Amino acid sequence: MFHGQHPLQCLERSLWTHVRRNVTTWSPVGAAFNAKPHRRLNLIEKNVGLFGVPELSCPAGFQAATETALKNTERLVGKACSCSPGVETVESFDQLSDGLCKVADLADFVKVAHPDPAFREAAEKTCIEIGTVVEKLNTNVKLCKSLKILLDNPDIVAKLDPNTRKVAELFMFDFEISGIHLDDKLRKEAVALHVKLLDLNNEFLVGAHLPNRIARSAIPEHLHLHFADEGSFIQVGGLHADSPDDLVREIAYRIYLYPNADLVDCLEELLKCRYKLAKLVGYDSYGHRALKGTMAKTPAKDFKMMRNMKKKLNPRNSVSDFFCSQHILYIMEIFLYNIEPSLYSPYLSLGACMEGLNNLFSQLYGVSLMSEHPSAGEVWSEDVRKLVDLTKSAVVHETEGLLGYIYCDFYHRQHKPQQDCHFTIRGGRWCQETGQYQLPVVVLMLSLPHPTKSAPTLLTPGMMENLFHEMGHAMHSMLGRTRYQHVTGTRCATDFAEVPSILMEYFATDYRVLSQFARHYETGQPLPESMVARLCESKKVCGAADIQLQIFYAVLDQIYHSKPQSRSTTEILKEMQQKFYGLPYTPNTAWQLRFSHLIGYGAKYYSYLMSRAVASMVWKQCFVQDPLNRDMGERYRQEMLAHGGAKEPMLMVEGMLQRRPTMEDFVDALVSELNPNFETFIMDSES
């Protein structure tokens, strides 16, 4: 919950705070995020453990939490295998899943976000241990049999409510894709492949984010300052796409993407193991296995969408090819539309943006964000000065009461992943054993600049959109009141999970929404409507190039996860880049080794485009006339947010749009986003 004001803070405030008070008044949420960080010292307060889990007051607690979870697992496996087939069976499975996920999901976050290496290492061990247990459970014949008895009995199935039946089918699907139907020998082989893939996935993820290095002498001395220093070497940890220096961008591109032989072998082996596992459990390819239960259904349908979109983008290819680099795109945005981020940032203080989100959710859903101090040890920084960087928000509905908690890990710190993310720490579910609803807990992780002595944290338009995007995921988790944890919030089909977050990007660039909160932090003046119009039009600059790039990524992902190729992953990349993106391959580079989405989105990277198409249709049909309409907000919640993964994704889309979209509708929705409003450009040029 967000840090509130402390009386002693007024002694530390800089002049900008007093100036701001004279021109505008922030809500408690806005004030909390625009307040200057302060130290909280309470030496007698009890350490409640990370996220309020008592065992996690120290790294060793992860082992204790793991042991407790595994003991409960044994008990619940026995219960699931012995109870009479029916609702109780499904509830036992969900309790089993919940007990393991509450430890594994928390550890999955801590292993990448905690500043203490001891905590990260302990969390990593927990992830591996729980992951191994899960793979064994997915091939437990007795456990599967108890569920199969239920699903094979038409009379029992007929008495199940739709959600319970869906969850039972999803658990059975987990058994099937793990090879439960195989004989003992092949089943053991499937388990071994699963365990091997856990290690390969981790190895590839780590390697994909490691910097490459080159001898200092190989780079002109005047360029050394652009890169990290490592003794006699220079470290290159990114593409430096925004650098105005051509040579810096070329060096970064060639060095950062230079092939690592070990990582090439890791990726090749990972793809082989995925294919072998998919074939072993009865699928034509890993792509077929991964897409079951999604909106796309099969790789063939996914490929059709990519091809159709490529054809519709062909007339725009000359633009796509010419303005290819992110740097040129950045320059085009500045000079054509004058959207230099520093012009916008004073209107987009973090407090203002949080207040805007609070207002938006209040008007659409009747939901408010309320601030609350975390208890000692509840958040993951041992540096007390950083505790205000990790705030916790209670989400409260006007009639339903407390909905859940959002931890906001918003500020940059050393060793923190430079990627905006949403993490589910605990899923929501109805607890039959307590008669209460288990409230969801999530973390939003950004990497924003810290406030300074003279100003609060100021966001660029891109940062503001990312904040809205990630908050879309969070509200999906908060507003999904599912009976079962297995399908809570974002635990749904991958190509549907991004719809709520991408839809929030439309709200973030609508003047009717922005006008409610975008105010200059010093003067209180609102963000001019003309600047918002320019911002929206600038997003269309080279939009075709961006979509073609996403098509290329999606196709490459599908090819990698189809039948084995007689070529290397680099040779495949070279061919697909020429065919679907049109730009020549740069020799001695291996971009696929930086494609970390191959792990979490393996065979499903197309989900970004499909989710964007759905979000576009929902925005244009339901919100573009009135983005603050409460009736439409409630309909959106009930049709698309409330079900999590308990309902077929296409049925949720159909319920919201009141029609079933065709493949052509998906393609048209994306291409129509590229049509420019020349009136905005002409009026701006005249002025």
The residue written with tokens 């701006």 in the block is: 684
Alpha carbons 460 and 468: distance in angstroms, whole number: 13
> What is the DSSP code (8-state) at residue 36?
P
CA distances from 361 to 126, 356, 487, 630 (A): 36, 9, 23, 10
- Angle separating helix axes 141-151 and 162-177, nearest 10 degrees: 140
And the tokens for 118?
Answer: 């001891």
SS3 category, 574: helix
Q: Which of 470, 498, 505, 639 is catalytic?
A: 470
CA distances from 651 to 305, 632, 654, 655 (A): 19, 18, 5, 6
Contact 180, 139 (CB under 8 A): yes
Contact 644, 487 (CB under 8 A): yes
Contact 448, 459 (CB under 8 A): yes
If one counts every other C-beta atom within 10 angstroms of the C-beta of residue 315, the result is 9
Its sign, for the CA torsion 220, 225, 226, 228, is: positive
> What is the DSSP code (8-state) at residue 519?
B
Kindly report each contact of residues 510-516 with a partner whose C-beta sits within 8 Å and lies 24 or more positions away, as own/partner: 510/627, 512/627, 512/628, 513/356, 513/360, 513/627, 513/628, 514/356, 516/356, 516/359, 516/360
Alpha carbons 49 and 38: distance in angstroms, whole number: 21
| Catalytic residue flag (residue 470) | yes
CA distances from 356 to 368, 448, 467 (A): 11, 17, 11
Q: Which residues are catalytic?
A: 470
